[in-house]
Structure 1
Amino acid sequence: MSVEFETSVTGDRKSVDLGEIDGGVAVEGDRVSVSGTLVADAVPLAILGESTSVTIGGDGGTVRLHHEGSRNSLTVAPEIEVETVEDTGSRLSVSRDERLSTDTGPSDLVRRTRAQAYGDLGWFGYATVRYQSEASDQEQCRYCGREADEIVHRHEETVLCLFGACLTVKRGGVSDECEYCAVRLGDIELSEEERRRIYD
């Protein structure tokens, strides 16, 4: 294989977070778990081993894959292209996961619109409604103080519902949220490799 790899991960039964991936990566070993974020336009990736999983997030770029192992998996963000240069192995799984995307826009920060929040209300009683709206005319987040491209307002209202009609009784203060201070829930689902490791 006449390809240069800036980073090499060797050994068995290990988990490695590469952080930002800006050069070629070679993974050689059995039951290895490697993750990182692609920041280059294109990088070569070699997977040489068995039962190894590689996870790559990012908002674009190309992974040029060289595979010589067995029962391995590659999971990438939807914006990343996978170009198979060489595959002499067997049972390679390639998939995409939207949770790996780093391209976060206002639609991602708006987890619940006003219409959705009010649409879930019942016919009678008081309820607390929480929703987000885009702040397209704002450049600085008033919550963390940073300049951001994507900012939303967080709203909280107390409403009284009578026969389906909703009356706003109290409006809470509006606070900001941007891509820097937004709460991100990590992936709590175990990977196939992690599930196997439990029984080893």
Structure 2
Amino acid sequence: MDMKKIYNKSIDEEISTAFNDLSKCEGEELSKKCGVVFLRGSGKKSYKRYVVNVLNKTYSVELETREVMDLISGKPASKELALVILRYLAYSSGGRGSETWIPYENLPDSRKYLELFRRNVTRPFIKTFGSNPEKYELVCRRMGGKKEKLGGISYSFYFLPKVQLLTQLWKIREEFSQPAANISFNSSVKFYLNARDLLLVAKTMVESLENEAKKI
């Protein structure tokens, strides 16, 4: 399986469907459920938009123009990130319980995506940071990560207001040992995104770490 085959039809069609479904949602109720801001304009400046924090950036979801934009750079979000944001808004059921960290492979329905997860998440993660854990820590701090006292070198992030993830890197300890990495999610993530969506979240997270590393 490749990444293109994870979509029901195509990513563009899924984005269009999510916009259609989001436009039917009640803005104020959704904003409380998802921890986002809903703005509405009337008269000549009629508009409806959601303002959503993603990691250390802020995006606007424009219902009139059907765009997802980075508010600082003015650039559109990648299609993968746009789809994640739209599905988070349109389909979240809301809910919260006692939080624990759940590795991706233990999430419901994640089994069929595990090879894609290894190929697009853990392997690039290890390739970029496995031999340079100091850079990994610096990048995590620059992106607002919180250091956790868990296995390996662990940092937690709010990817979306109700979606937390944990990045972990185990550095080489002996001459013949190999570094390892993993990403886990908060247990209530099941109320907000499914396993396919969380594959995209994890992939985007690693790409964000890689892009930040290039600036150092």
Q: TM-score range by the shorter chain?
A: under 0.3
Q: Normalising by the residue count of structure 2, what TM-score does the alignment of the two structures yield?
A: 0.22
Instruction: Kindly indicate whether structure 1 or structure 2 has the higher relative contact order, using CA contacts under 8 Å at least 6 residues apart.
Output: 2
Q: Which has the higher helix share?
A: 2
Q: Which has the higher strand share?
A: 1
Q: Normalising by the residue count of structure 1, what TM-score does the alignment of the two structures yield?
A: 0.23
Larger Rg: 1
